[in-house]
Amino acid sequence: MFALNLFPNNKMFGVYSFQGCCGGLHFGDVLCLDLVKMNWSKLGTTGEKPGPRDSHGAVLVGHRMIVFGGTNGIKKVNDTHILDLVTKEWIRPKCEGTPPSPRESHTATLVGDERVVIFGGSGEGDANYLNDLHVLDLRSMRWSSPQVKGDLPVPRDSHSTLAIGNRLFVYGGDCGDQYQGDVNVLDMDTMTWSRVWFSLLLSHS
């Protein structure tokens, strides 16, 4: 899971990667790509580190990387961890409220500077695809599961999300052998889902 962040010295940009899975092996390292020198290095970290995992969600809030969920290859998890990219220390914050159920292949999206939104993914059990939504308020560190309305997206995992202002865009994903190509939008003020319809205009020469 990758995220882009300004280096602490404000002179260069870097891509931080909290590791995933390769060849059935799960990793828990943090790697950094220096976008000026274009080389990778391993970031030495301290504190209460997350266990090795993949298919987790990660967002950057200032100089902090917040990681939620994923799988360690044996079971899916729903823990939250924060890495301070300045001190390079991991902490496991005490969050109030009810967290999302264990899941993998979900998305974690920063909306504004105060909310992390978890959407969808694959839950425990076989073919348990999700379309639920959960919000972590970064001011109070409290989880909530707001009621939503409108034209809800079908359950899915391995999708992409993007926040633009107060709107959360969801694209693609799959549920088993069925792949999705739709675009869904959630208005975070009214908590209303809608679907974006596109018209394809074909011209013939």
Q: Where does the pLDDT of residue 2 fall: very low under 50, low under 70, confident under 90, or very high at 90 and above?
A: very low
Sheet hosting strand 64-71, strand order edge to edge: 46-47, 89-91, 76-84, 64-71, 57-61
Is the pLDDT at 118 greater than 50, yes or no? yes
Q: Are 90 and 49 in contact (CB under 8 A)?
A: yes
Quickly list H helices, the chain: none
Q: What are the structural domains of the chain?
A: 1-93 (no CATH), 101-205 (2.120.10.80)
Give the Cα separation of 96 and 111 in Å (integer). 19
pTM of the complete model: 0.90
Q: How many CB atoms lie within 10 A of CB 47?
A: 14
Give the Cα separation of 169 and 111 in Å (integer). 11
Mean pLDDT across 170-199: 93
Mean pLDDT across 108-123: 97
- According to DSSP, the residues that pair with 133 across neighbouring strands are 119
Dmax over CA atoms of the chain, in Å, equals 63
Q: Where does the pLDDT of residue 198 fall: very low under 50, low under 70, confident under 90, or very high at 90 and above?
A: confident
Q: What is the pLDDT of residue 9?
A: 45
Percent of the chain with pLDDT over 70: 90
Q: What is the pLDDT of residue 205?
A: 45
Give the Cα separation of 6 and 188 in Å (integer). 27
Q: Given the structure tokens 């994923």, which residue do they identify?
A: 70
Is the pLDDT at 112 greater than 60, yes or no? yes
Sheet hosting strand 192-196, strand order edge to edge: 149-150, 192-196, 183-187, 167-171, 160-164
Q: What is the pLDDT of residue 199?
A: 62
Please work out, in degrees rounded to the nearest 5, the angle formed at the alpha carbon of residue 181 by the alpha carbons of 133 and 183: 50
- According to DSSP, the residues that pair with 129 across neighbouring strands are 122
- Which letter does DSSP use for residue 201 in this model? -
